[in-house]
Amino acid sequence: MGPTNDHELAIARLVDQLNIVGELHATAIEDVISVLDFALTKSDSEFLVKYIRWRMDNPIWKTNS
């Protein structure tokens, strides 16, 4: 699942950052919205919810390199 526009890209980056630091959870929606510098459209909101769910099912695993 990937972003298709600038708003979705910004959302995905924030969600991925939360995932990397171990703070991604179902209520992360408010955390993401509070950091964004734009108002969410209906489409943005739908992407946010779907992307959080997808990222929770497909986490980014940190490697110790």
Q: Of 63, 60, 58, 64, which Cα lies nearest the Cα of 19?
A: 60
User: What's the Cα-to-Cα distance from 55 to each of 24, 27, 31, rounded to whole Å?
Assistant: 8, 13, 15
**65 belongs to a structural domain:** no
**63 belongs to a structural domain:** no
Q: What is the pLDDT of residue 58?
A: 93
10 Å CB burial of residue 54 (0-12, 13-18, 19+) is middle
Q: What is the pLDDT of residue 26?
A: 82
Q: What is the pLDDT of residue 27?
A: 87
Domain extent for 23: 6-57
Q: What is the pLDDT of residue 64?
A: 65
**24 belongs to a structural domain:** yes
pLDDT tens track, the chain, 65 positions: 789 999 999 999 999 999 999 889 988 999 999 999 999 999 999 999 999 999 999 999 877 65
Do the beta carbons of residue 14 and residue 29 sit within 8 Å? Answer: no
**22 belongs to a structural domain:** yes
Q: What is the pLDDT of residue 15?
A: 96
**62 belongs to a structural domain:** no
**10 belongs to a structural domain:** yes
Locate tokens 């990397």: which residue?
20
